[in-house]
Amino acid sequence: MKKILLGLSDDELKLIAAEAGEKGYRGKQVADLVYRHGCKEVAAMSNLPAKFRSWLGQDYEVGRSQIVKTRRGKDMTFKVLLSPAFGDLIESVGMAYEDRFSCCVSTQVGCAIGCSFCATGAGGFKRNLAAGEIIDQVLTVGEVAVREKMLPPDGRVSHVVFMGMGEPLMNYDATLTAVKLLNSELNIGMRNITVSTIGYVPGIYRLAAEHLQLTLAISLHASEDALRRRLVPGMSRYSLKDLIEAGRHYFKETGRRVTFEYCLLMGVNDSQSEVARLAALLKGINCHVNLIPLNPVEGKNYKPPRADQAAEFRRVLEAADIPVTQREQRGAGIEAACGQLRRMQRQ
Ligand code: SF4
């Protein structure tokens, strides 16, 4: 199997050029072609000398995915089912807003955590994605957005959220490499990148030590450990106290306010006592809470909260001086919303 160019830095590409007996700037040219000009095949790199092109093509390919299916929603959202460079199927989502275009990427094929309300977890874990396979999703979603006229011809993805299939911090090296390359090669501001974790505590400490300016989102989904263990069985070794302490540490190390995510499930975690406990847990922490009304998943018994319950939940947190937003439900109609992604071809 050939190695893939996507996921390699400028410096690594320069070393490859040197190995082929070429000047370093040829490596930079390759980076321009794969990251900024959407070049999909080594054979199409016509501005490289033929000798270098043929040398490169023997061991390397660009590493772009095949689009298996695109499904467009009514709310300026689409989902793409992709076959990535090393095989299998993954999903990525594009979302157009007035002031930005956001891409939600997957970091694993499937997921090992098995959250009880999530479609991805229900399918189990298959493999980690390579950094290049993560970057490819951003390039592909950008290209589809232009084709769908959701971005102008010279438009680009401005924000990336690591909230698709899988737990990014359990595929740490590829996630970190992808984050750095999205910033350096695709020019996506570090503050426009969000990594969302279900609460893998060692990964949070490791990420804090990188001192990056990205946004970290930690999913809580409960305010007491027994319920969290039931909803998020794959992370039961970490308590809510561990998670909140890790969030505090992240803020101390990076100066970036942590987002705590809370998926509201009717009659499960949306009660008065639940929100009172959550407010007490988060009191005095420099954080922000993002409430996510459940996106229903076929075969699961959970329901989204009533609008008045969600509003009351929010009111209690705000009364405790905790900044809160409620996530706009995007993509639910095409099963592209949070927790709804899976390797599904039937749409
Ligand atoms: S919610 Fe996230 S961590 Fe949980 S099973 Fe789904 S993809 Fe995995």
What is the phi/psi pair of residue 197, to 5°?
-120, 145
Report the alpha-carbon distance of residue 215 to residue 209 in Å, rounded: 14
Distances (CA, A) of 22 to 6, 43, 55: 20, 17, 11
pLDDT band at 183 (very low <50, low <70, confident <90, very high): very high
Does the CB atom of residue 104 touch ligand 1 within 6 A?
Answer: no
Does the CB atom of residue 118 touch ligand 1 within 6 A?
Answer: yes
The residue whose CB lies within 8 Å of the most ligand 1 atoms, and thus the one to mutate among 198, 327, 340, is 198
**∠270-272-276 over CA atoms, to 5°?**
105
pLDDT band at 298 (very low <50, low <70, confident <90, very high): confident
Average pLDDT over residues 32-50: 96
Res 288: pLDDT: 94
Does the CB atom of residue 234 touch ligand 1 within 6 A?
Answer: no
Positions marked catalytic:
91, 338
Atom of ligand 1 nearest to the CA of 198: 3
The more confidently predicted of residues 340 and 69 is: 69
What is the Å distance from ligand 1's center to 164 Cα? 8
Long-range interactions of 302-308: CB distance < 8 A, separation 24+: 302/116, 302/117, 302/265, 302/266, 302/268, 303/265, 303/266, 303/267, 304/264, 304/265, 304/266, 305/264, 305/265, 305/266, 305/270, 306/266
Q: pLDDT tens for residues 137-181?
A: 999 999 999 999 999 999 999 999 999 999 999 999 999 999 999
CATH code of the region 66-334: 3.20.20.70
pLDDT band at 294 (very low <50, low <70, confident <90, very high): confident
Does the CB atom of residue 183 touch ligand 1 within 6 A?
Answer: no
Least confident segment among 29-33, 271-275, 324-328:
324-328
Report the alpha-carbon distance of residue 78 to residue 93 in Å, rounded: 6
| Mean pLDDT rounded to a whole number for the chain | 93
Report the alpha-carbon distance of residue 262 to residue 244 in Å, rounded: 13
Which residue's structure tokens are 């459940």?
A: 294
Q: For residue 91, which amino acid is it? A: E
Average pLDDT over residues 224-235: 96
pLDDT at residue 296 tops 90:
no
pLDDT at residue 346 tops 60:
no
In percent, the amount of the chain with pLDDT more than 90 equals 84
Which residue's structure tokens are 């987002």?
A: 259
pLDDT at residue 339 tops 60:
no
Does the CB atom of residue 263 touch ligand 1 within 6 A?
Answer: no
Which residue's structure tokens are 């970057």?
A: 135
Residue located nearest, by CA, to atom 4 of ligand 1:
115
What is the Å distance from ligand 1's center to 120 Cα? 6
Nearest C-alpha neighbor of 68 from the set 96, 47, 92: 92
pLDDT band at 203 (very low <50, low <70, confident <90, very high): very high
pLDDT at residue 190 tops 80:
yes
Domain ranges across the chain: 3-61, 66-334
Structure token digits, residue 298:
């076929």
pLDDT at residue 118 tops 90:
no
pLDDT at residue 250 tops 70:
yes
pLDDT band at 320 (very low <50, low <70, confident <90, very high): very high
Does the CB atom of residue 111 touch ligand 1 within 6 A?
Answer: yes
Fold of domain 3-61 = DNA polymerase; domain 1 (1.10.150)
DSSP string, 135-204: HHHHHHHHHHHHHTTSS-TT----EEEE-SSS-GGGGHHHHHHHHHHHHHTS---GGGEEEEES--HHHH
pLDDT band at 345 (very low <50, low <70, confident <90, very high): very low
- What sign does the CA torsion over 9, 15, 20, 24 have? positive
What is the Å distance from ligand 1's center to 115 Cα? 5
pLDDT band at 330 (very low <50, low <70, confident <90, very high): low
pLDDT band at 78 (very low <50, low <70, confident <90, very high): very high
Contact 317, 324 (CB under 8 A): yes
The residue whose CB lies within 8 Å of the most ligand 1 atoms, and thus the one to mutate among 91, 115, 126, is 115
What is the Å distance from ligand 1's center to 165 Cα? 7
pTM: 0.94
Does the CB atom of residue 338 touch ligand 1 within 6 A?
Answer: no
